[in-house]
Amino acid sequence: METEKQELIEDINKLESALKETKDKQKEEIKGKIEMKRERLKAVEQAQIEASIEPGKTEPIISTDTKKPRR
């Protein structure tokens, strides 16, 4: 879970860097991706907190299918 958390943080940083270099049309798309990654990061952190509160509990299964359908 810690690895996933680190990957999400790296993805957010890459997207924010890309946001600075893109044109207006793509900015909204990148902002959406950043928001999606941040929400996923919050879910992972919350799952870590819940798992640490109840010792012996197995890690909760979190769906990684957070992508929105393409248009």
Give residues with Cβ within 8 angstroms of 71, minimum separation 6: none
Q: What is the DSSP letter of 69?
A: P
38-52 tens-digit pLDDT:
999 999 888 888 877
Mean pLDDT in residue range 30-38: 89
Question: Rounded to whole angstroms, how far apart are CA atoms 12 and 7?
Answer: 9
Sign of CA dihedral 5, 6, 8, 13: positive
Q: At what angle do helices 2-21 and 24-53 cross, to 10 degrees?
A: 160
Compute the residue count for the chain. 71
pTM: 0.51
